Structure 1
Amino acid sequence: MRLDVLALQSFYAGSLGQTAATMAGRRMVDAWGDCAGLDVMGLGYATPYLNAWLPTARRVIALMPATQGVERWPSGGPNLACIGDEDRMPFQEALFDRILCVHALEEAENPRILLREIWRLLAPEGRLMIMVANRSGVWARAEANPFGHGMPYSRSQVARLLTEAMFQPVAWSRALYGPPLPWSMTTGGAAETWESLGERAWPALGGVILVEAVKRLYADTLPKGGRRVLLAQPARARF
């Protein structure tokens, strides 16, 4: 069962949630820029991160799973949030240039079906970014934050799911190196120190994994259990 939208609202209204949105959100902007002229969708509970593209993208839409619940977003102006089923989203094929997936994969009833539905909605060569709880990170072990719910993932597990769904991972990063505690020494400006130290001292232990992947239209047949998978090219290390 997905975490309720009210619990997610409460988390991101607090200092720890605001810190998470800032630290992880800047990596998303580093990867995608201002998305000027592009159609962007956020899936799961992505609204704290989608705000960055509201002024510049051609269209920004937040889709929240029915099992989670939906909130009105943004707080000012026309509502851009809607609700839908994970396996049958209410949009036509190839509509979005970018899809951001936050608090979605960990609690998906069927992650493979979810990724195939995302593939359907992405334009050719469109880009997907997933932020998922890191199995090796401390945030996945703390139930007081949303990243401690559902199934956390390792990098190899995410890569395998993406490849099977005809996505090619092209860039990886991690964020949230500080402990998931709403203290002054771990949030706000202090979080910058944790991020800088964590990237140098324990780069594999960030609380979340971020991966950017490209939609591919064709799969190449490889001798791997009789399944069709993509021929992956070397992915750049980070963004």
Structure 2
Amino acid sequence: MRRDVLELRQFYASDLGRAARAMVERKLREAWGDTYGLDVLALGYATPFITPFRERARRVVAAMPAQQGVEVWPGDGPILSTLTPEDVLPFTNALFDRILVVHGLEESADPVGYLREVWRVLAPSGRAIITVASRTGLWADTERTPFGHGRPYTRGQLADLMREADLEPSGWTRALYVPPVGWMARWADGFEQAGSRLWPGFAGLLLMECTKQTFAVKPKGSRSVVRTVRPVLAPSPAGTARRGQRLAPPPGRS
């Protein structure tokens, strides 16, 4: 069962939620750099992290699953958020240059199908970052935050899931070393600097970047689902952006 959008919104208004937003935003800027002229999709509940990209991106769309509910976003100007089925996104193929998934994969009933939709709407030269709760981190062990619900992942599990959906992992990083205790959020920066050096396995979040395999061949007997949907949002294709700082290589990559 997915967390309600009101619960998610309330969490990101808290001290812990603001700390999580700051730590993930930093990683996104390092990975993506400038998004000038690009089409960006925020999938799941990723609006707290994607707001800084609005000024430079050509278009930012927030797609939220029907089981979760949708919020009016942003608070100013035209509404850029939409309610969608999680297994059939209402967008044309190869539309988005950047896709960010937060609070999407852990509570999905069909994780591979979910990522196949990411594959479908991702441009051939595009890049997606999937953010999940880390199985070895402290945040997956408490239900006081949204990251304590659903299925957490290890780095290897997430990489394998991506490859099954024809997405090729290209880098990974960790974030959110501060314990999930409200009064400790003020020291989030200090925990982030020390944790990455002293206890990397205790990070709360795992962020893995992937690209699209455009000529992937599925092994015999594996699942392959082809969906035809009516496009609801269909802006024209965008160009590519200058790469930001690369993430570390994922496990098992040749």
Per the normalisation by structure 1, the TM-score is 0.91
Unaligned runs of 5+ in 2: 224-245
Cα pair 1:29 1:52 within 8 Å, conserved: no
1:217 is the counterpart of 2:228 = no
Q: Post-superposition shift, 1:219?
A: 2.0
* Other-structure match for 2:157: 157
Q: Secondary structure at the match of 1:187?
A: helix
Aligned mates of 2:30, 2:206 — CA distance in 1: 15
**Quick check: 213-222 or 90-99, which moved more?**
213-222
What do residues 135-185 of structure 1 show as CA deviations (whole Å, max 9, x unaligned)?
Answer: 0000001100000000101111100010111111111100111100110xx
Q: Secondary structure at the match of 2:248?
A: coil
1:1-239 matches, within 5 Å, as: 1-183=1-183, 186-188=184-186, 190-219=187-216, 237=248
Q: Which amino acid aligns with 1:42?
A: A
What do residues 171-201 of structure 1 show as CA deviations (whole Å, max 9, x unaligned)?
Answer: 1100111100110xx223x211101110011
Number of corresponding residues: 228
Q: Secondary structure at the match of 2:72?
A: coil
Aligned mates of 1:40, 1:200 — CA distance in 2: 32
CA RMSD of aligned residues (A): 1.8
Q: Secondary structure at the match of 2:56?
A: coil
Aligned mates of 2:2, 2:218 — CA distance in 1: 36
Q: Secondary structure at the match of 1:101?
A: strand
Q: Post-superposition shift, 1:238?
A: 6.4
List, as ranges, runs of 4+ consecutive aligned residues in structure 1 with deviation greater than 3 Å.
Answer: 225-228
Aligned mates of 2:222, 2:144 — CA distance in 1: 40
Cα pair 2:31 2:247 within 8 Å, conserved: no
Q: Secondary structure at the match of 2:130?
A: strand
Aligned-pair identity in percent equals 51
Aligned mates of 1:212, 1:79 — CA distance in 2: 28
Q: Secondary structure at the match of 2:71?
A: coil
Aligned mates of 1:180, 1:144 — CA distance in 2: 8
Aligned mates of 2:247, 2:79 — CA distance in 1: 37
* Other-structure match for 1:231: none
Q: Secondary structure at the match of 2:214?
A: coil
Aligned mates of 1:11, 1:238 — CA distance in 2: 31
Q: Which amino acid aligns with 1:94?
A: A
Q: Which amino acid aligns with 1:5?
A: V
Per the normalisation by structure 2, the TM-score is 0.86
Q: Secondary structure at the match of 1:106?
A: coil
Cα pair 2:35 2:56 within 8 Å, conserved: yes
Cα pair 1:125 1:216 within 8 Å, conserved: no
Aligned mates of 2:29, 2:193 — CA distance in 1: 18
Q: Post-superposition shift, 1:126?
A: 1.3
Aligned mates of 2:48, 2:247 — CA distance in 1: 26
Cα pair 1:41 1:96 within 8 Å, conserved: yes
Aligned mates of 1:81, 1:36 — CA distance in 2: 20
Q: Post-superposition shift, 1:221?
A: 6.9
Q: Post-superposition shift, 1:34?
A: 2.3
Unaligned runs of 5+ in 1: 229-234
